[in-house]
Chains A and B, each alone.
Chain A
Amino acid sequence: MKVISASDSSLLVVFGNAISPELHHCVIGLFQTLRARQDPRIRNLHPGYTSVLVDFDPLRMTHDELAAIVEQAGGATGTKAERESRVVSVPVCYDAEFGPDLMDLAKHANLSPEEVVRLHSSASYLVYFLGFSPGFAYMGGLPEKLHMPRLATPRGHVDGGTVGIAGSQTGIYPVDSAGGWRLIGRTPWRMFDPRADPPTRLQPGDTVRFSAIDRATFSAMAQ
Chain B
Amino acid sequence: MPIRVKNPGMFSTIQDLGRHGYTHLGISVVGAADRLSLRVANLLAGNEENAPALEMTLLGATLEFEERHIVALAGADCDAKVGTSPVRPGETVEVPAGGVLKSGGMNTGARSYLAVQGGFDVPAVMGSAATDVRGQFGGFQGRRLKAGDVLPVRDGRGFRTRKLKAGALDAVYCHDLVRVTRGAQQEWFGPEAFEVLFTCPYAISDQSDRTGLRLKGQPLRPREQSQLLTDGIPLGAMQVPQDGQPIILFVDQQTTGGYPKIANVIMADMHHVGQFRPHEQVRFQEVSIPQAIMLLKEQQRWLQNAFVP
Q: Is A156's beta carbon under 8 Å from chain B?
A: no
Which candidate, A80-88, A193-201, A208-216, is the interface stretch facing chain B?
A: A193-201
> Given B24, B142, B234, B256, which contacts A6 in the complex, CB threshold below 8 Å?
B234
Bound complex: CA A54 to CA B26 (Å): 15
What's the minimum C-beta distance from A62 to chain B, rounded to whole angstroms? 8
Is the C-beta of A181 less than 8 angstroms from some C-beta in chain B? Answer: no
B292 lies within 8 A of A8 (CB): yes
CB distance B26 to A17 under 8 Å?
no
Q: Which of B15-23, B50-58, B76-84 contacts A (4 or more CB under 8 A)?
A: B15-23
The stretch of A91-99, A128-136, A145-153 in contact with B is: A128-136
Complex Cα gap A10–B182 (Å): 12
Contact B181 A8 (CB under 8 A): yes
Residues in A with CB closer than 8 Å to B40 are none
A44→B23 contact, CB < 8 A: yes
**Segment of A45-53, A70-78, A103-111, A118-126 engaged in the interface with chain B:** A45-53
Pairwise interchain contact A131-B237, C-beta atoms closer than 8 A: no
Please state if B181 and A7 are interface contacts (CB–CB under 8 Å).
yes
**Binary flags per residue of A12-41, CB closer than 8 Å to B gives 1, else 0:** 101001110000000000010000000000
The proximity string for B residues 126-143 relative to A, scoring 1 for CB distances below 8 Å and 0 otherwise, is 100000101111100010
Chain B residues contacting A44 (CB-CB under 8 Å) are: 20-24, 29, 232
Contact B137 A131 (CB under 8 A): no
B232–A52 touching, CB < 8 Å: yes
Query: How big is chain B's contact interface, by range?
Result: 35 or more
Interface size on A, residues (CB 8 A): 48
Residues on the B chain within 8 Å of A17, using CB: 229
User: Are A46 and B256 interface neighbours, CB within 8 A?
Assistant: yes
Question: Among B24, B126, B136, B181, which residue has the most Cβ atoms of chain A within 10 A?
Answer: B24
Also in contact, A49 and B231, with CB within 8 A (given A194-B126, A199-B126, A200-B25): yes
> Do A5 and B289 touch (CB < 8 A)?
yes
Binding site of B, secondary structure by majority: helix, strand, loop or mixed?
Answer: loop
B191 to chain A, nearest CB (A): 19
Q: B264-307 toward A: CB 8 Å interface, digit per residue (1/0)? A: 10110000000000000000000001001100110010000000
Nearest A residue to B300 via CB reads A59
A8 engages B266 (CB within 8 Å): yes
**Are A131 and B229 in contact (CB-based, < 8 A)?**
no
Q: Residue among B181, B237, B255 with the most chain A CB within 10 A?
A: B255
The answer to whether the Cβ of B230 comes within 8 Å of any Cβ in the partner chain is yes
- Given A49-B230, A58-B296, A138-B230, decide whether A132 and B256 contact each other with a Cβ distance below 8 A: yes
Binding site for B on A (CB under 8 A): 4-10, 12, 14, 17-19, 31, 43-53, 55, 58-59, 62-63, 129-136, 138, 174-175, 192, 194-195, 198-200, 203-204
Instruction: List 20 additional A-B contacts (Cβ < 8 Å) besides A50-B229, A198-B25.
Output: A6-B264, A7-B181, A18-B229, A43-B20, A44-B232, A47-B232, A48-B230, A51-B231, A63-B289, A129-B256, A130-B255, A131-B230, A131-B255, A132-B256, A133-B134, A134-B27, A192-B135, A194-B135, A199-B25, A200-B26
